[in-house]
Structures are given as structure tokens and as C-alpha cells.
């Protein structure tokens, strides 16, 4: 199984999500990005043994519970290769949270850092597909959609996937602080 962690921002991005879902339906992507709530990723998902889930999840819960709510500045809707996302400004709070998760997973469980974890681009994915032209078309339709300039990090999620493939993840836990 694969484990995934993030900040849930679904409630704060309802308008842009509704617009993005209309666009996604119109274009017809192979996989919907909206099988999960909108979230800001904190680390690249990583494989674990199914029986080890509770051990890893407890470490992540501890980190989340010790995190005070904080604000996240939104940079805007951007296109990066085959992904259209809402990009967040880096901040001490975001980087600290991500680093804590990475270091605990590395030091206690040997979960190696992925190259993206080294210089993580905090984001909420709107569209992702192997067909870059579809993503660009969707991005062009969404790029001027109004989005909040600030989001509040006060809801955190842990999710899993049996395969690590897009569309197979589901939220297992939500932690409110």
C-alpha cells in the first residue's frame, strides 16, 4: 500500500473545484483528480507494508496534532508539464511541517526522500493526465477562475492507495487542529 499526507483545503476551494470538475467532464480525462478532497500535498506518497499502516499513521497524527493552524499564501493557478495546479507560496510553517514528516519517516522507518521532497512545490492538483495538450486546454479554461489569496491550514489528512496510481487513493483519516 501507499500512504499519502496533506492539508485538506476542500471547503476553501469549492468554487474553483466546481469549475474544474465542469472542465474535467467536458474534456474527458482518463482519471479524475477529484476522487480525493482538494488538498495541499506535503510529501510524495510512499509504499509501506499494509500491516505497518497504524505505526506510520500514529507518527503522522502526532505531527499533525502538534501543529497549530497557520495561513498559506496562494501563488496562483499554474501549468507544470502534464499538471495544472494551484501553487502555494513556500513558508516556514509549510516547510517545517513537510520536513518533520520527511525526517520522521526517514529516521525512524528508512523512507527515503524522493527527489521532489528535496525542493517540494506545495500545490493542490487540479488536472493531471499523460496527455499534456488536454491539461493545457483545461488549464487555459481554469486559469482566470477566482481563487482565495490565503488558505487556512487547520485540517490534515492521511490517505492510502493499494497501488499508488492516480484515482486509487482514499482518505482514511482527517485530523482537525
CA distances from 164 to 44, 70, 168 (A): 10, 29, 7
**Cell 483545503, residue located:** 9
How many residues comprise the chain? 177
Reported confidence tier of residue 36, pLDDT bands at 50, 70, 90? confident
How many whole angstroms separate alpha carbon 111 and alpha carbon 145? 38
Distance of CA 128 to the CA centre of its chain: 12
10 Å Cβ neighbour count for 111? 20
Residue 167 Ramachandran class (φ > 0 left, ψ -120 to 50 alpha, else beta): left
Q: Tell me the average pLDDT across 129-141.
A: 95
- Residues of the chain above pLDDT 70, percent: 100
10 Å Cβ neighbour count for 135? 22
Taking only Cα atoms into account, the Rg of the chain, rounded to an integer number of angstroms, comes to: 16
Whether the pLDDT of residue 73 is over 90: the answer is: yes
Whether the pLDDT of residue 29 is over 90: the answer is: no
The angle that helices 53-65 and 92-109 make with each other, rounded to 10 degrees, is 150
Whether the pLDDT of residue 31 is over 90: the answer is: no
Whether the pLDDT of residue 168 is over 90: the answer is: no
Burial class of residue 26, CB neighbours in 10 A (0-12, 13-18, 19+): exposed
Amino acid at each position: 500500500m501507499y500512504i499519502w499526507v496533506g492539508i485538506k483545503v476542500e471547503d476553501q476551494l469549492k468554487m474553483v473545484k466546481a469549475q474544474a470538475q465542469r472542465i474535467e467532464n467536458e474534456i474527458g480525462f482518463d482519471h479524475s483528480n477529484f476522487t480525493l478532497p482538494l488538498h495541499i500535498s506535503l510529501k510524495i506518497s510512499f509504499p509501506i507494508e499494509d500491516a505497518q499502516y497504524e505505526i506510520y499513521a500514529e507518527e503522522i497524527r502526532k505531527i499533525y496534532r502538534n501543529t497549530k493552524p497557520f495561513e498559506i499564501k496562494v501563488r496562483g493557478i499554474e501549468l507544470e508539464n502534464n499538471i495544472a495546479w494551484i501553487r502555494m507560496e513556500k513558508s516556514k510553517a509549510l516547510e517545517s511541517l513537510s520536513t518533520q514528516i520527511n525526517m520522521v519517516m526517514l529516521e525512524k522507518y528508512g523512507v527515503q526522500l524522493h527527489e521532489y521532497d528535496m525542493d517540494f512545490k506545495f500545490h493542490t492538483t487540479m488536472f493531471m493526465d499523460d496527455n499534456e495538450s488536454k491539461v493545457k486546454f483545461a488549464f487555459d479554461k481554469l486559469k482566470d477562475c477566482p481563487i482565495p489569496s490565503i488558505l487556512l491550514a487547520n485540517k490534515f489528512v492521511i490517505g492510502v492507495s493499494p497501488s499508488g496510481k492516480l484515482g486509487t487513493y482514499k482518505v482514511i483519516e482527517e485530523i482537525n487542529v
